[in-house]
Amino acid sequence: MSGQHTGTPVTEHSATVRGARLAWSEQGAGAAVLFAHGLTASGTSMEESGALDWGPVARAGRRLVRCDARGHGRSGGDPVPVQYTWPSLAEDLLALSSQLAGDAPVDGIGLSMGTATLLHAAVRAPGRFGRLVLTAPPTAWATRAAQAAQYEAAATLVEHVGAAALEELTAAAPVPPVLADLPDGASAPQVAPGLLPSVLRGAAASDLPDEERLRALALPVLLLAWTGDPGHPLATAERLAALIPGARLHVAATPADLRSWGTLAADFLTG
């Protein structure tokens, strides 16, 4: 991982959280920053692909915790779709944050599903977080039904044909320009085949919090969005920027823009 080969050691951990063995890594020291990844990814997969680098956060004097969500990466889970809904993943993240930081507030960085997880956690426990960096916000509200139908179809495909069929379909899909540098295989699911249908159905049953709850958030928020991706439409980020008081929005259009996100996040979290 690009952010892990800069002289700042990384340590691996796991613990039982709400009945599942959850895994995470730590890099750096200081107040905790929890990174929550996207659907079927892991806490490190986007960095291992070279697309992103959150290492600047750890080098800026923060304790960067890259979490594997339930059922993803090295974390365990059960084939039960409700465990993978965004509110349920938010409860996991809140419980893990209490294990890692006690009652002290933490900051959060989210990507796609991770952004949704952080938003549900923040409206559920407003005092838990100091600052949030919300990247690649997913489809939400009016655009969510069509995306949910795709996840349901993907779950059925995995059940009837196998996970390899979904990988082939994903590999053949158009790639947003901002992700053009991803190597082959970078989007392979970091989820065990037996859990993949439940993970997808959990996402299909999920949406962002109600707009009124988002208007009530009272903490600094940086939104980092990218262009050209129907699964992460810029309209969602723009709506979140309008709803969350004081939220700032930065938009990436190229792979180079995307690789600047680690520095943008570090500057925002330590500024």
Query: Do the strands 20-27 and 10-17 form a parallel or antiparallel pair, or are they unpaired?
Result: antiparallel
pLDDT, position 7: 67
pLDDT tens digit sequence for 37-72: 999 999 999 999 999 999 999 999 999 999 999 999
CA 190, 75, 210, 239 torsion-angle sign: negative
Is 206 inside any structural domain? yes
Give me the number of domains the chain comprises. 1
Domain of 175 in residue numbering reads as 10-38+56-270
CB 22 within 8 A of CB 70: yes
pTM assigned to the model:
0.96
Is 4 inside any structural domain? no
Is 245 inside any structural domain? yes
Is 45 inside any structural domain? no
Is 48 inside any structural domain? no
Is 164 inside any structural domain? yes
Is 47 inside any structural domain? no
pLDDT tens digit sequence for 117-152: 999 999 999 899 999 999 999 999 999 999 999 999
Least confident range from 100-109, 170-179, 240-249: namely 170-179
Is 46 inside any structural domain? no
Distance of alpha carbon 215 from alpha carbon 231, whole angstroms: 23
- The C-alpha angle with vertex 224 and arms to 59 and 127, in degrees rounded to 5, equals 75
CATH number of the domain encompassing residue 92:
3.40.50.1820
Answer whether residue 104 shows pLDDT above 60: yes
